[in-house]
Structure 1
Amino acid sequence: MPQLADLDLLLSVGSHGSVGKAAQAHSLSQPAASIRISAMERRLGIQLLERSPAGSKLTEDGEILAKYARNVIEAARELLEFGSGARSGETKRLRVAGSPAISEHLLPEWLNRSRFSFGEVRVEVQSGGVDALRGMIQTGLADLAFIDGWCEAGDRGQRHDRNDLVTRNICDDELAVVVGSDHPWATRSTPLTVAELAGAPLVVRERGSGLREFTDELLDAAHAPQSHVELPFNAAIKQAVATSRRVTVLNVSTVRAELAEGRLHLVAVDQDMPAKPIYAAWSERRGLPGYAAELVEVAAAKGSPVPVVGAGQRSRKAGSRSRLRPQQSPAIDVHEAIA
């Protein structure tokens, strides 16, 4: 009989597509994780993984075992939670996960607008990338995840995908050009052209991030020389822009506090800026606990993030054709969201 820890490790390999990444998630070395998977294969007499230099994926037998493993691990967690709740008298718990920007800038406000702030339920928040969040839902580590994805939301209702995920569109988070208060563009009255933006000294995210991919695509079209500083975190980018005359492109949700304080300013652009959809995801098999369903409704009712500007500062300059997109209510497919 495989151990629960080994089954959980197998599920992580399926979610991450890599024994090394799964090992890291379980605080194991890659050789140790490989030995445990190989031992489980020998014990069961089946091959669980297809291994290649590009990574590892579950075989057909591995997928079947993973299906049973999810049920076993979830049942074990529910048993442990029941025992813990019976001892402490605390039975209401909500495990929420979110992308880093959502967890930091949006989720606290959504929680404050719900009844969770009155102590009726214990809320545990985790953060991670898209693949990690999907894995948390599939393995039962989270009841609900809020994920941001780079795609256009379609005119469709709630969607179910082949990996037991249900997704619902919550809102859109528009991208915006941002400068510090000392930058000449902070008081500019005419829309900025993409060519002007491409020729400015920029602060950008690291290669491989969705924000960087959009920024590169936008600026490459201008065929202008680009001078930039590359930073891995939004907080570092905001600090660099606020204390210099550099320019950046960020999501509106991540700069609302700085706009309200007057440390950062939005600059209008002569074209529409795209919006990044934010959606909720949960397990179709386990469904949504009542508190989680309430949080989804609170988030959807709040709508798309809009700038909170300080006194004397306008969120959009006169004559701008760039605008915030209206909230879209349909849900989107998780696979399209991460394409």
Structure 2
Amino acid sequence: MRHLRVLLTVADTGSVSRAAATLGLSQPSLSAQLQRIERTMGIPLFERSPSGVEPTAYGRYVLAKARTVLAELEELRSWTAQLEVCEQPMLLRIGAVPGPIAAKLALSLRRAFTSLRPESETEVYSHAEQSSLALLRMIDSDRLDVVVVEQFAGHELPVLPSVRRMELVAVEPVFVALGDQHPLSGKAEIDLADLAEESWIIDPLLDSGESAHLRRACQRAGFEPRIRHHATETTAARSFVASGQCVSLAQATSREGLGIVVRPLVGDPIVRRLDVAWSSERFAENGELVRLAAADAYLGLVEYNDSFARWWETHPEAHPAIG
């Protein structure tokens, strides 16, 4: 934590000497400490110049993470302090892959546990995470309680002894997102082969296997996908698609609008499975309550996209656990 605060102070002051004064250290001492931190990270975090210091590209990434970690620590301290002066609430720490499921899951779990323990307040903390494996490990390390994760064939998630996991949706098709002015936007279904000349945008940090499935599906359709854009942030990705510069894969439960349409692919060439997982120790008595709350949350998403609502109605075999 001390090292993170040092990095942020150097970045915020723009000078090692000013940072040293702020931290109550000598400049040589802070310079030596900063060099040790950079050696530990294995890469320079700041560029030095006569006028001061500027973060490198990697340094900006580290600083962003540092701010998040310190903010979370401060929130944890604040929450702990509150527990000392009031009755402990029921705390649920949930996580999910990016998308609308996290918000629905939070509401469903709050309702479920409030009905189970009406005398105690139920608080929900949430965490969106691109990596399903990371979400499971956060349960294993007692940082989360309930998560919704995804997996693609050939990229199955490991079994962790402390984590109870059950199928939520056996088969969910992956759709495609296009700008609403795209020549194919008026079609009810889109043949993947018709996108052979399109540029694609993907999230380079996804470890679920989705990008590999995109490549294989395109190859089966007779072409190699032209992946020209990368974005880890949803708003940036949607802006690129809405501008007509590229297309992207999209969750079937994605909402349309703001220049975007979301359409199914003919034959469902790419599908994923969704599971709900929870701490087998903490919810040994309430596992079924968690599963039902997750199912309720997912059912609330089906109507988000008319195309998916029609698909859902005509494919009952894909979701036997929910019905």
Q: Does TM, scored on the shorter chain, surpass 0.5?
A: yes
In structure 1, which of residues 288, 305, 327 is the aligned counterpart of residue 319 of structure 2? 327
Partner of 1:105: 100
Superposed CA deviations along residues 93-118 of structure 1, whole A, max 9, x for unmatched, are 1122222x1xx411212323454598
1:151-180: CA deviation from partner (whole Å, max 9, x where unpaired): 39x9xxxxx945322101122542002211
The letter of the residue matching 1:109 is: K
Give the conservation status (yes or no) of the 8 Å contact 1:207–1:213.
Answer: no
| Structure 1 residue 289, shift from structure 2 partner | 7.0
Scaled by the length of structure 1, the TM-score of the pair is 0.56
* Offset, 1:240: 0.8
1:282 to 255, 278, 281: 278
Contact 2:172/2:318, CA 8 A, preserved across alignment: no
Selected match of 2:265 from 264, 269, 272: 269
Q: C-alpha displacement at 1:146, in angstroms?
A: 1.9
Unaligned runs of at least 5 residues, structure 1: 1-27, 34-80, 155-159, 331-339
Instruction: Supply the distance in 2 between the matched residues of 1:228 and 1:110 (Cα, whole angstroms).
Output: 33
Distance, in Å, in 1 between the alignment partners of 2:246 and 2:159 is 42
Unaligned runs of 5+ in 2: 1-35, 42-78, 115-119
After superposition, residues 1-339 of structure 1 pair within 5 angstroms as 85=83, 87-99=85-97, 101=98, 104-116=99-111, 120-128=121-129, 129-151=131-153, 161=159, 163-171=161-169, 172-188=171-187, 191-206=189-204, 209=207, 210-224=209-223, 226-233=225-232, 234-244=234-244, 246-253=246-253, 255-256=254-255, 259=256, 261=257, 263-288=259-284, 290=286, 294-303=289-298, 305-306=301-302, 308-309=304-305, 315=307, 326-329=318-321
Structure 1 residues 138 and 235, CA gap change in structure 2 (3 angstroms): same
Could you tell me whether the CA contact under 8 Å between 1:199 and 1:225 is conserved in 2?
no
Deviations 1:6-64 (A, max 9, x none): xxxxxxxxxxxxxxxxxxxxxx969879xxxxxxxxxxxxxxxxxxxxxxxxxxxxxxx
Distance 1:182 1:105, change over 3 A: same
- RMSD (CA atoms): 4.0
Could you list the per-position Cα deviations for residues 162-205 of structure 1 after superposition, in whole angstroms to 9, with x for gaps in the alignment? Answer: 5322101122542002211111111136x433322223232233
Distance 1:183 1:308 in 2: 21
Q: 1:287, CA displacement in angstroms?
A: 3.1
Distance 2:277 2:266 in 1: 35
Secondary structure at the counterpart of residue 141 of structure 1: coil
Q: Is residue 252–residue 307 contact of structure 1 (8 Å, CA) maintained in 2?
A: no
Q: Matched residue of 2:304: which SS?
A: coil
Structure 2 distance, partners of 1:243, 1:267, is 17
Q: Would you say how many aligned residue pairs link Structure 1 and Structure 2?
A: 235
1:112 is aligned with what amino acid? L
Match of 1:88, SS state, is coil
Cα deviation for residue 265 of structure 1 reads 1.7
* Contact 2:199 2:227 (C-alpha < 8 Å) held by counterparts: yes
Q: Specify the code of the residue in structure 2 equivalent to 1:242.
A: A
Length-normalised TM-score, structure 2 = 0.59
Give the aligned residue type for 2:104.
E
Q: Compared with structure 1, are the counterparts of its residues 207 and 216 closer, same or farther at alpha carbon in structure 2 (3 Å cutoff)? A: farther
- Retained in 1: the 8 A contact 2:200–2:248? yes
Find the aligned partners of 1:205 and 1:307 in 2 and give their Cα distance.
Answer: 25
The share of aligned pairs that are identical, in percent, is 14
Q: CA 1:161/1:227 → structure 2, altered by over 3 Å: closer, same or farther? A: closer
